[in-house]
Structure 1
């Protein structure tokens, strides 16, 4: 069986808990071995992937093995966030919206809680 492919979009920091719990619930429901999950953060949601003083660090670390966490370079530049400010496992993409479009064209389901 092919894996389910899902891209979660978050662009507002206040939705972090909701999005991360949605991801966790999906993994519980379908099983991590049956999923490819990517979360794309742009706008001020990029801040949830910062290394220092991150209230979501534990949950992000728990999901790290099963989720690819991406941040938008444009948002980073706008917010003056450097690569070293991010958690180690975060991937920087040129454009958050561009990354989402690529995933959708490739058949990934799009979720924006």
Structure 2
């Protein structure tokens, strides 16, 4: 009798896990940009497009967040981004793609320039880029630095 109860208990625990695996796993990717280099910015965007296309072809979903801080914040500046048009297009094509701008860097740049640094409408200001990357990893995001 004890064996039957143990077997029934094991089945109850494995059914939800099996059902989740059969339904397709949710994938999550954090991409880090900390360089004011158009090649690095384009590589990050290429990574996002390729990952999204890969999982889309498999019928699986993926959530992608690009986090920019330090010199990499130029990627998300409305006035200076060398990839502004590409970000605008990708945001429309990939609804699960998010862009986070470091608040610490934004404040420092604004202070140095004596005016508020304009960010692209696609960017969300977060308090700290490094902290955001930590939080994403703690939430199960895989981490890539192009």
Same fold, judged at TM 0.5 (above)? yes
Cα separation, 1, equivalents of 2:81 and 2:67: 17
Question: Could you say what the CA RMSD is over the residues aligned between the two structures, in angstroms?
Answer: 1.8
Cα separation, 1, equivalents of 2:126 and 2:65: 12
Q: Which runs of 5+ in 2 are unaligned?
A: 1-23
Q: Compared with structure 1, are the counterparts of its residues 107 and 77 closer, same or farther at alpha carbon in structure 2 (3 Å cutoff)? A: same
Q: Which runs of 5+ in 1 are unaligned?
A: none
Counterpart contact for 2:29–2:143, Cα < 8 Å: yes
Question: Is 1:26 matched up with 2:51?
Answer: yes
Q: Deviations over 1:56-87 (max 9, x none)?
A: 1121012213311001001111211736x111
TM-score by length of 2: 0.70
Q: Which has the higher strand share?
A: 1
State the match for 1:13 in structure 2. Answer: 36
State the match for 2:144 in structure 1. Answer: 111
Partner SS for 1:101: helix
Q: Deviations over 1:3-32 (max 9, x none)?
A: 201100110021111111111111122229
Structure whose CA Rg is larger: 2
State the match for 2:106 in structure 1. Answer: 76
Higher relative contact order (CA 8 A, sep 6+): 1
Counterpart contact for 2:30–2:141, Cα < 8 Å: yes
Task: Report the Cα offset of residue 52 of structure 1.
Answer: 2.2
Moved more, 100-109 or 47-56: 47-56
TM-score by length of 1: 0.89
Cα separation, 2, equivalents of 1:20 and 1:13: 14
